[in-house]
Amino acid sequence: MHFTDYIIPVLLIIIALIVLIRNIRVVPQAQAFVIERLGAYSTTWHVGLHFKIPFIEAISKKVSLKEQVYDFPPQPVITKDNVTMQIDTVLYFEITDPKLYTYGVENPINAIENLSATTLRNIIGDLELDQTLTSRDVINTKMRVILDEATDPWGIKVNRVELKNILPPREIQDAMEKQMKAERQRREAILRAEGEKTAAILSAEGEKEAAILRADAQKQTQILRAEGEAEAILKVQTATAEGILRINESEPSEAVIKIKALEAFVAAANGTATKIIIPSDIQGLAGLATSFKELLSDPKK
C-alpha cells in the first residue's frame, strides 16, 4: 500500500477527533445550558461534563443562575394628588428555570423593566405625595409581590425591589426644604424654651432651698439662745435655792433675815424703779444700822 492510501483514513480520524472534542462541554458552577435537538428543546445541562451530538444538538442559550441586579432608569409617575415625579428602581432577581427563561418571553430584561414601570405607576397612582415619600417599604413590598407573581411563567424569581431615588418637581423640593427649615426652627425654639424653663425651675428651687436653710439656721440659733437663757435662769434659781437651803440649815436669827431683806431692797433700789415701799420692820432695822454706823465713826463718843 502506498502512503497516500493512509492519508484519507488518518484525515477522517483526525476530523472525527476534532468533532468529538469540540462537542465535549463543561458546564461551570452557577450556569446552565439549554440544549435543542433538531431545533426543539431537548434538555438542560447543569454543572459537569456533557457531550453534544454533533450536527443534531445545539446549545440554545447559556443561562447564569446567579442573582442579578438591574438598575432601571427613572420613570415618570403621577401621584393621587397630581404631582409628577421621577422614580428609579433597582431589581434583584434570579433565574430558577432556564427553559422558561429561554422560551417564556422575548428579551426578559426588557419585559421586566416595562412591567416594573407599569406596576410602579399603578401603586403610586393610589398614593399621595407625602405617602409616597414615607412609604418606601410598602411600595417595595407590593412591587416585589406583583413582579414575582408575573415573572413566574418566565422562570424568574424576584427577590427584592428597591426604590433608589424619588425626585419630586423642583418647586415641590423647594417647598419641602422650607417646611423642613421651619420645622427645625420650631424644634430649636421649643428646646430653647424648655432649657430656659428648666433653668428657671432650678434657680427657683435653689432659692427655695437657700431660704429654707436660712430659716432653719435662724430657728436653730433662736432655739440655742433660748436654751442658753433657760439654762442660765435654771442655774441662778438653783444657786438661789441652794443659798436659801443653807440659810435654813444654819437656823439664822431674825436680825440676819432682816439684814438679808435689806440687802435685797438695796439691790432693788439700784434698778430703774423710782419708788420703793419698804416694810416697817426693815425701816427700823435700817435706822438701827445707821445709828450704829454713826457711833463707830464718832471717836468722841
CATH number of the domain encompassing residue 132: 3.30.479.30
Cβ(149)–Cβ(116) under 8 Å? no
**According to the model, what pLDDT value does residue 274 have?**
56
d(CA 141, CA 143): 5
Alpha helix segments (H runs only) across 250-279: 254-269
Q: Are residues 272 and 295 in the same domain?
A: yes
Note whether 243 and 196 are same-domain residues.
yes
3-state helix, strand, coil in the chain (%, to 5): 60, 20, 20
Please report which helix (H) or strand (E) contains residue 291, including its range. helix 280-297
Place of cell 440544549: 35
The dihedral over CA atoms of 98, 102, 107, 113, expressed in degrees to the nearest 10, equals: -30
Q: Specify whether 198 is located in the same domain as 230.
A: yes
Say if residue 149 is in the same domain as residue 198: no
Final residue before a domain boundary, out of 150, 168, 186: 168
Last residue of a domain, one of 168, 186, 218: 168
Whether residues 72 and 164 share a domain: the answer is yes
**How far is 29 from 31, CA to CA, in rounded Å?**
6
Q: Do residues 160 and 73 share a domain?
A: yes
pLDDT at 293: 47
What does the buried/exposed string (b/e) look like for 178-214 if buried means 16 or more CB atoms within 10 Å of the residue's CB? eeeeeeeeeeeeeeeeeeeeeeeeeeeeeeeeeeeee
| Residue 297: domain span | 253-301
Q: Is there a single domain that holds both residue 24 and residue 42?
A: yes
| Residues 32 and 109 occupy one common structural domain | no
In the listed set 123, 140, 168, which residue is the last one of a domain according to the structure?
Answer: 168
215 plus 163 within the same structural domain? no
Which residue, 60, 59, 64, is CA-closest to 29? 64
Residue 125 in grid coordinates? 397612582
154 and 96, same structural domain? Answer: yes
The structure's pTM equals 0.56
Q: How far is CA 145 from CA 117, 138, 157, in A?
A: 14, 11, 10
Q: Based on the domain organization, do 240 and 267 belong to the same domain?
A: no
Phi, psi dihedral angles at 37 (to 5 degrees): -120, 115
Each residue's pLDDT expressed in tens, for the chain with a length of 301 residues:
555 667 777 788 888 888 888 889 999 999 999 999 998 999 999 999 999 988 899 999 999 999 999 998 888 998 888 888 899 899 999 999 999 999 988 888 899 999 999 999 999 988 888 888 888 899 999 999 999 999 999 999 999 999 988 888 888 777 777 888 888 888 888 988 888 888 888 888 888 888 888 888 888 888 888 888 888 888 877 877 776 676 666 665 565 566 666 565 555 555 555 555 555 555 555 554 454 445 445 544 4
**Same structural domain for residues 231 and 257?**
no
Compute φ and ψ for 87, nearest 5 degrees: -130, 125
Q: What is the pLDDT of residue 280?
A: 55
Total of domains in the chain: 4
